[in-house]
Amino acid sequence: MNVLLVEDEARVADFILRGLRAEGWTVTHAPDAASALELKLREDFDVIVLDLMMPGLPGQDFCRKLRARRDYTPILILSALDALDERVEGLRIGADDYMVKPFEFEELIARVEALARRSSHFVEPVSETILHAGAIAFDLDTLEVTAGGQLLELTAKEREILKLFLSKPGRVFSRERILNSVWGASEDPLTNIVDVYVGRLRRKLGSQGHKLQTVRGAGYRLTSE
């Protein structure tokens, strides 16, 4: 997925950039709406995450200008303006969704994914095989994951981690191996992001979550028993 983030606060932008890139998405940052418009002329994006209160061209005018060009790229407004009239105006000027700061990052990811499904530019990768580990199955063609017969809703990174485990059930994968395989060598090796995501994945596996085991001092493994 290719995301354009339009945010003038450096701290907030850095936080969002790290989080979205951790999902495996390509994210381009524009510090103001004027430069975002220039970027949009040169490149297609699946979703635009847009702040409203910025120096120079306001986010509201960015929406209007983009829609006036018949550009219907999904826009998620992410703003500290939380009054009802502000939210209603944001939707009426062309935004597809509106979130208020401060926000929960899990919700931001879910909303961006929902908007991306409406974008004609977003295509899921395909394959021809199904990976299994007991009652856990991952259809690489449809990206559907089931555990104990239940269909799971996983993020892109959670799917990549599960795919790694399912590639060799029973094998112990170190945190460093998971980090390099899923996030790449550029990620901070001291981060606890692997532990966080494995914990999230284990909870989502529900009754099959006990099969995702911690091997003290070594890493994690997924058993089929």
Q: Token pair of 190, please?
A: 């001291």
| Structure confidence at residue 44 as a pLDDT band (50, 70, 90) | confident
Q: For strand 150-152 and strand 219-222, is the pairing parallel, antiparallel, or unpaired?
A: unpaired
pLDDT band at 22 (very low <50, low <70, confident <90, very high): confident
For the whole prediction, is pTM greater than 0.85? no
Please compute the mean of the pLDDT values over residues 166-170 and round it to a whole number: 88
Residues of the chain with pLDDT > 70: what percent?
A: 92
In the three-class reduction of DSSP (H, G, I as helix; E, B as strand; rest coil), residue 179 is classed as: helix
List pLDDT tens digits, range 3-13. 999 999 998 89
User: Measured between alpha carbons, how far is residue 55 from residues 58, 137, 183 in Å?
Assistant: 7, 49, 34
Q: What does the pLDDT read at residue 74?
A: 94
- Please give the pLDDT value at position 185: 55
66-109 per-position pLDDT tens digit: 988 888 899 999 998 889 988 899 899 889 999 998 888 888 98
- Report helix angle 10-22 to 105-116, nearest 10: 60
**Per-residue confidence (pLDDT) for residue 123, from 0 to 100:** 46
User: Can you tell me the distance from the alpha carbon of 105 to that of 69, in angstroms, rounded to the nearest whole number?
Assistant: 31
